[in-house]
């Protein structure tokens, strides 16, 4: 989808998914070769004006990786999902950041951290990058040195693996609704 905000200095809201899968005791992180930027990046995309960030992440996961929300556990600072009567509760991002995309355009990104038990059961959608790679943190850092990944991506994945995984709860991501609220205040 095109950027919603196209004037100089404007920000788009984006969501991204840092997905970790263990092979034995080794955490592997999922990146894909972004078609536009030609760099290895985490899965994600722009939040459209008719979507919640969680809804965006739900379809971006499937389109770009082949995973569905039901395939993953999400890392959360506390165990469980609060019950709220008239609103839909969304998960807490592992990290929120704003970064420069071009000289005069910015993305403010909600980065969610996930754990996968298996490889995706589907392929990425047609038209999406088919170049998915599972890498160790050291391999991703080498990709930065080789110029095929950004340092921020390696830093964020390192944070997820070293800081979030050891202490955050793993919750079935499907417990968070992809629906919109139905009641009016």
- pLDDT (tens digit, 9 = 90+) per residue, 67-115? 999 999 999 999 988 888 888 899 999 999 887 776 777 768 899 999 9
So what's the pLDDT on residue 5?
62
Strand 40-41 to 105-116 pairing: unpaired
Rounded to whole angstroms, the Cα distance separating 145 from 129 reads 22
Rounded to whole angstroms, the Cα distance separating 112 from 104 reads 26
Strand intervals (E) in the chain: 10-23, 26-33, 40-41, 43-46, 72-76, 95-102, 105-116, 132-135, 169-172
Rounded to whole angstroms, the Cα distance separating 95 from 173 reads 17
Domain annotation for the chain: domains and CATH numbers: 10-175 (3.90.79.10)
- pTM (2 decimals)? 0.92
């Amino acid at each position: 989808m095109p950027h919603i905000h196209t004037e100089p200095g404007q920000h788009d809201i984006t969501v991204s998914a840092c997905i970790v899968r263990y092979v034995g005791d080794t955490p592997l992180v999922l990146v894909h070769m972004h078609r536009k930027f030609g760099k290895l990046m985490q899965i994600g995309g722009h939040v459209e004006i008719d979507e919640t960030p969680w809804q965006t992440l739900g379809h971006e996961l499937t389109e770009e990786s082949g995973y569905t929300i039901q395939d993953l556990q999400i890392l959360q600072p506390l165990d469980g999902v609060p019950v709220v009567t008239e609103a839909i509760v969304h998960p807490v991002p592992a990290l929120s950041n704003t970064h420069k995309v071009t000289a005069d355009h910015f993305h403010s990104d909600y980065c969610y951290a996930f754990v996968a038990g298996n490889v995706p059961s589907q392929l990425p959608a047609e038209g999406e990058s088919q170049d998915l790679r599972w890498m160790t943190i050291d391999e991703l850092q080498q990709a930065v040195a080789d110029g095929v990944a950004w340092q921020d991506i390696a830093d964020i994945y390192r944070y997820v693996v070293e800081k979030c995984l050891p202490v955050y709860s793993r919750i079935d991501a499907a417990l968070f609704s992809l629906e919109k609220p139905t009641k009016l205040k």
